[in-house]
Amino acid sequence: MDLFPLWNSLRIAGISTVIIFFVGIFAAYYIARAPRALKGVLDVVLTLPLVLPPTVVGYLLLRVLGPRRLIGEWVLSAFGLRLTMTWWSAIFATVVVIFPLMYRTARGAFESFDETLAYSGKSIGLSNTYIFWRIRMPYCRQGILAGTVLAFARALGEYGATSMIAGYTPGRTATISTTVYQLWRTNDDALAFKWVLVNMAISFVVLLAVNMLEKSSRQKPKPKGGA
């Protein structure tokens, strides 16, 4: 059993999750503070990949990053790099597909933040950077953690956009999802089912770990001594 699809899926999902963690938090923080009209427009635009079919997302990416398209052709001529049909091409697809999950959960967490805590911090001279990382982020960690895990799990199982922009080449671009599809097409149901179990096992472990972290963070230390 070739383990390359597992390794490739994990690195694509991991890199994509790191990217959208910072980009999603940045977008969620500033859009949550934007005027209502602007917030509504930006929210629709940034959430659109969540409702579009993954194959449509892949098609649009090909229209932008293909070797005969504006960006793809420029990168190919300037740096000699193809932006499609490589293992890291799948990162473009997964970032676009999983971004709305991180963005919406983080935005919801920031909107539930008690702003009086930030005002109190400013009144004693704390910087905005300190307030963001030491007060706001810990307060909103549950929503941010949930968005991060959901994004990772979604990236791990992404197929539609990934298959269009990265294709399927054994040992080069194959992921768990594309491997399952190819094995099914070749009537190798036994091996396809093994990969399905691998994907389910990883997702189960990730979600279980997050649930345990959330449970431990909700537990408050009991007061020592009597009343």
Q: How many CB atoms lie within 10 A of CB 3?
A: 8
Query: So what's the pLDDT on residue 206?
Result: 79
196 Cβ contact list (under 8 Å, min separation 6): 180
Alpha helices (H) along the chain: 4-32, 36-51, 54-65, 70-79, 89-111, 115-123, 128-131, 137-139, 141-156, 160-165, 176-185, 189-218
Judge whether residue 65 has pLDDT over 50. yes
Looking at residue 217, what is its pLDDT? 55
**What is the rounded average pLDDT of the residues 35-41?**
85
- Please say whether the beta carbons of 1 and 195 come within 8 A: no
- CB burial of residue 100 (10 Å; 0-12, 13-18, 19+): buried
> What is the band of 91 on the pLDDT scale with cuts at 50, 70, 90?
very high
CA distance 12 to 72: 20
The pLDDT confidence band at residue 219, using thresholds 50, 70 and 90, is low
- Is 114's pLDDT higher than 70? yes
Question: Mean per-residue pLDDT for 99-124?
Answer: 88
CA distance 47 to 64: 19
pLDDT number for residue 215: 67
Whole-number average pLDDT of the chain: 86
CB-count exposure of residue 105 (10 Å: 0-12, 13-18, 19+) = buried
Contact 166, 65 (CB under 8 A): no
Could you report the per-residue pLDDT of 172-192, keeping only the tens digit for each? 999 999 999 999 999 999 999
Rounded CA gap, 101 and 147, in Å? 6
Model-level pTM? 0.85
Query: Over 70: is that where the pLDDT of 162 sits?
Result: yes
Report the pLDDT value the prediction gives residue 223, as an integer from 0 to 100.
Answer: 43
Percent of the chain with pLDDT over 90: 36
98 or 37, which is more confident: 98
Q: What is the 3-state secondary structure (H, E, C) of 141-176?
A: HHHHHHHHHHHHHHHHCCCHHHHHHCCCCCCCCCCH
Is residue 220 pLDDT above 70, yes or no? no
Please tell me which residue, 225 or 182, carries the higher pLDDT value.
Answer: 182
Asked if residues 184 and 193 have their Cβ atoms less than 8 Å apart, the reply is no
